[in-house]
């Protein structure tokens, strides 16, 4: 084998002298070859104890910082509600000659100002702290709940003796107790003060739920009727062309569906030639129940759904010169086989051609059935989600907002239009958050009430 200057024939050296690569410390017993003071630490385990003690200290300091963050977020939102002017501008109701164009009372207008100020402040914190608005508001709510209803657990959290997960579990359960049940709050706080500091998160979550049931002053039947009104379903995109959905419904119905799917899956698992796992079969059974249509005897009747599908296809992929994945509107990248299948099954589909390097839209197909307004379609292609900072609501569920209001001379053109979900539309319209556009580069950016500049988020897909 030819070697170049500076190269080493590692293969020959390993074969010729394998012991050259053995670490001598591997052949020594605990403490051997070390100074006496270090040998004692290693042989007695004192070094490990010291490392564990250091980690405990780090954990306590981290808890202290997290608790301070919770408290700080709650304070900012509380102050925004108490003094809305920095977030939404001067109070017009202070003018004796003021009349509300919508005919609302002074109290109603001031209530709206407080609500919008809190939302504007939450958005400010979200972009500055790198959180979602929901996380900001949730942390503020947890802090307020613990302060008011669980002062003992709150004090232990602020002292670093309660983990964040246990603190949030306590807050979630305490928040569901009645608003004027001070006695129930006190019992809940007292019974869980020690458990919050000693139990692992999983066990404490169960413990807090049990205690909440015991101290709740209302009968379970009454609470169940109200809780059933909150039934819902959520869709969550996952990696590798997968997704999940969660259904929140009454326990008996959820258990019935699970048992039906489980029993059917176990039956199929026992069939000759069946290679799918039980987990895969359960998932397939559930999905088939919906995609194949409801039973004709069910109350909802028989149904089939064929939705219009929007698929973004890179032009080089369409020409067969590349394998870059297509993009399914509302989800993200999908494999080409799925894209072809959806296009074949859908009653209509939108083909969107993009530049192979820049991703710029080259063409929007205008031959689909029930073609929407061309401008609205273009905006949905350019901005697939709400342009509010951090927002992932689909553009098709958003309002089309005039960046510069129509009443102030704003044009109905793509340079002045952008999709905004209802919450961010309200914040832009009624708070001091402003959306700007650089007329030279076309770049858009937000400016917060505290003059913090936030570039518009790039497309997520």
Q: How many CB atoms lie under 10 A from the CB of residue 370?
A: 7
Do 206 and 322 lie in one domain? The reply is: no
pLDDT at site 369:
31
Contact (CB, 8 A) for 196 and 162: yes
pLDDT at site 21:
53
Query: Is position 432 within any domain?
Result: yes
Do 198 and 256 lie in one domain? The reply is: no
Instruction: Tell the burial category of 17 from Cβ atoms under 10 Å away from its Cβ (0-12, 13-18, 19+).
Output: exposed
Task: Please give the Cα distance from 358 to 174 (Å, whole number).
Answer: 51
Do 122 and 209 lie in one domain? The reply is: yes
Do 85 and 189 lie in one domain? The reply is: yes
User: Which tokens belong to 49?
Assistant: 């104890």
Contact (CB, 8 A) for 423 and 119: yes
Residue 372 has pLDDT above 50, yes or no: no
Q: At what angle do helices 164-175 and 133-149 cross, to 10 degrees?
A: 70
CB proximity list for 449: less than 8 A, separation 6 or greater = 86, 87, 120, 121, 124, 431, 432, 433
Residue 109 has pLDDT above 70, yes or no: yes
Do 60 and 196 lie in one domain? The reply is: yes
The predicted-structure confidence for 29-58, as pLDDT tens digits, reads as follows: 555 666 766 666 666 667 778 888 889 999
Task: Please give the Cα distance from 437 to 446 (Å, whole number).
Answer: 9
Q: What angle do CA 344, 348, 353 make, to 5 degrees?
A: 85
Cα–Cα separations (whole angstroms), residue 392 to 4, 142, 181, 337, 386: 56, 24, 38, 26, 6
Q: What is the CA radius of gyration of the chain?
A: 30
Mean pLDDT across 329-341:
66
User: Which tokens belong to 297?
Assistant: 């005897």
Query: Is position 34 within any domain?
Result: no
Do 196 and 339 lie in one domain? The reply is: no
Task: Please give the Cα distance from 229 to 257 (Å, whole number).
Answer: 19
pLDDT at site 366:
43
Do 122 and 165 lie in one domain? The reply is: yes
Query: Is position 1 within any domain?
Result: no
User: Which tokens belong to 313?
Assistant: 């296809």
pLDDT at site 183:
95
Residue 344 has pLDDT above 70, yes or no: no
Q: Which helix (H) or strand (E) holds 246?
A: strand 243-248
pLDDT at site 113:
95
* Residues 103/104/105/110 CA torsion (nearest 10 deg): -140
Contact (CB, 8 A) for 245 and 262: no
User: Which tokens belong to 433?
Assistant: 């958050």
Q: Which of 190, 209, 228 lies at the terminal end of a domain, its last residue? A: 228
Number of structural domains the chain divides into: 4
Mean pLDDT highest for which of 17-26, 236-245, 282-291, 424-433? 424-433
Do 192 and 319 lie in one domain? The reply is: no
Residue that wins the pLDDT comparison between 13 and 176: 176
Query: Is position 66 within any domain?
Result: yes
Of the candidates 90, 89, 84, the one whose C-alpha atom is nearest the C-alpha of residue 118 is: 84
Q: Which of 349, 371, 393 lies at the terminal end of a domain, its last residue? A: 371
Cα–Cα separations (whole angstroms), residue 438 to 99, 376, 412, 416, 441: 36, 22, 17, 11, 6
Residue that wins the pLDDT comparison between 212 and 11: 212
Task: Please give the Cα distance from 426 to 119 (Å, whole number).
Answer: 10
Residue 368 has pLDDT above 50, yes or no: no
Do 195 and 247 lie in one domain? The reply is: no
Residue 343 has pLDDT above 90, yes or no: no
Q: Which of 258, 291, 324 lies at the terminal end of a domain, its last residue? A: 291
Model confidence band, residue 367 (pLDDT cutoffs 50, 70, 90):
very low
Query: Is position 211 within any domain?
Result: yes
| Lowest model confidence (mean pLDDT) among 57-71, 280-294, 324-338, 340-354 | 340-354
pLDDT at site 304:
41
The predicted-structure confidence for 430-445, as pLDDT tens digits, reads as follows: 999 999 988 888 788 9
Task: Please give the Cα distance from 157 to 127 (Å, whole number).
Answer: 26
Give the position of tokens 């194949």: 292
For the chain, the distance separating the N- and C-terminal CA atoms, rounded to the nearest angstrom, is: 50
Task: Please give the Cα distance from 87 to 215 (Å, whole number).
Answer: 40
The predicted-structure confidence for 1-10, as pLDDT tens digits, reads as follows: 555 555 555 4
The DSSP secondary structure of 37-90, one letter per residue, reads: HHHHHHHHTHHHHHHHHHHHHHHHHHHHHHHHHHHHHHHHHHHHHH--HHHH-S
Contact (CB, 8 A) for 437 and 413: no
Q: Dmax of the chain from CA atoms?
A: 99
Query: Is position 319 within any domain?
Result: yes
Task: Please give the Cα distance from 138 to 115 (Å, whole number).
Answer: 15
Task: Give Cα 275 distance to the centre of its chain.
Answer: 35
Query: Is position 8 within any domain?
Result: no
Structural domain harbouring 436: 385-455
Do 73 and 139 lie in one domain? The reply is: yes
Can you tell me whether residue 312 is helix, strand or coil?
strand
> pTM value?
0.69
Do 217 and 68 lie in one domain? The reply is: yes
The predicted-structure confidence for 130-150, as pLDDT tens digits, reads as follows: 999 999 999 999 999 999 999
Query: Is position 3 within any domain?
Result: no
Percent with pLDDT over 70 in the chain: 69
Do 85 and 222 lie in one domain? The reply is: yes
In sequence order, what are the beta bridge partners of 447?
434, 453
Model confidence band, residue 428 (pLDDT cutoffs 50, 70, 90):
very high
CB proximity list for 300: less than 8 A, separation 6 or greater = 294
Task: Please give the Cα distance from 449 to 433 (Å, whole number).
Answer: 6
Contact (CB, 8 A) for 403 and 437: yes
The predicted-structure confidence for 238-259, as pLDDT tens digits, reads as follows: 888 888 989 888 876 777 788 8
């Amino acid at each position: 084998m030819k070697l170049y200057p500076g190269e080493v024939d590692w293969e020959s050296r390993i074969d010729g002298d394998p012991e050259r690569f053995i670490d001598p410390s591997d052949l020594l017993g605990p403490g051997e070859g070390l100074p006496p003071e270090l040998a004692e630490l290693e042989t007695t385990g004192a070094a490990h104890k010291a490392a564990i003690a250091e980690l405990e200290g780090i954990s306590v300091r981290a808890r202290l910082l997290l608790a301070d963050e919770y408290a700080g977020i709650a304070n900012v939102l509380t102050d925004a509600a108490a003094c809305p002017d920095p977030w939404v501008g001067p109070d017009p109701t202070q003018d004796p000659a003021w009349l509300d164009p919508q005919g609302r009372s002074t109290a109603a207008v001031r209530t709206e100002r407080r609500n919008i100020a809190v939302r504007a402040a939450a958005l400010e914190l979200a972009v500055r702290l790198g959180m979602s608005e929901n996380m900001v508001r949730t942390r503020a709510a947890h802090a307020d709940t613990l302060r008011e209803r669980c002062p003992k657990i709150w004090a232990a959290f602020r002292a670093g003796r309660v983990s964040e997960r246990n603190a949030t579990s306590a807050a979630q359960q305490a928040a569901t107790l009645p608003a004027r049940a001070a006695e129930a709050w006190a019992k809940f706080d007292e019974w869980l003060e020690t458990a919050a500091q000693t139990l692992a998160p999983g066990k404490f979550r169960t413990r807090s739920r049990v205690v909440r049931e015991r101290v709740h002053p209302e009968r379970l039947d009454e609470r169940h009727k109200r809780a059933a009104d909150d039934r819902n379903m959520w869709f969550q995109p996952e990696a590798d062309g997968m997704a999940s959905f969660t259904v929140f419904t009454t326990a008996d119905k959820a258990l019935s569906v699970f048992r039906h799917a489980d029993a059917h899956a176990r039956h199929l698992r026992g069939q000759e030639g069946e290679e799918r796992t039980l987990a895969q079969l359960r998932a397939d059974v559930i999905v088939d129940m919906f995609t194949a249509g409801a039973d004709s005897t069910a109350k909802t009747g028989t149904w089939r759904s064929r939705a219009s599908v929007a698929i973004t296809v890179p032009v080089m992929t369409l020409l067969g010169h590349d394998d870059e994945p297509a993009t399914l509107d509302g989800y993200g990248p999908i494999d080409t086989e799925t894209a072809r299948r959806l296009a074949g099954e859908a009653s209509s589909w939108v083909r969107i051609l993009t530049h192979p390097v820049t991703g710029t839209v080259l063409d929007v197909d205008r031959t689909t059935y029930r073609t929407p307004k061309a401008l609205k379609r273009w905006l949905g292609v350019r901005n697939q989600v709400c342009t509010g900072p951090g927002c992932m609501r689909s553009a098709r569920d958003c309002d089309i907002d005039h960046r510069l209001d129509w009443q102030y001379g704003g044009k109905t053109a793509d340079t002045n239009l952008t999709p905004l979900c209802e919450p961010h539309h309200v914040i832009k319209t009624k708070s001091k958050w402003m959306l700007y556009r650089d007329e030279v580069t076309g770049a858009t950016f937000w400016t917060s009430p505290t003059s913090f500049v936030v570039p518009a988020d790039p497309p997520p897909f």
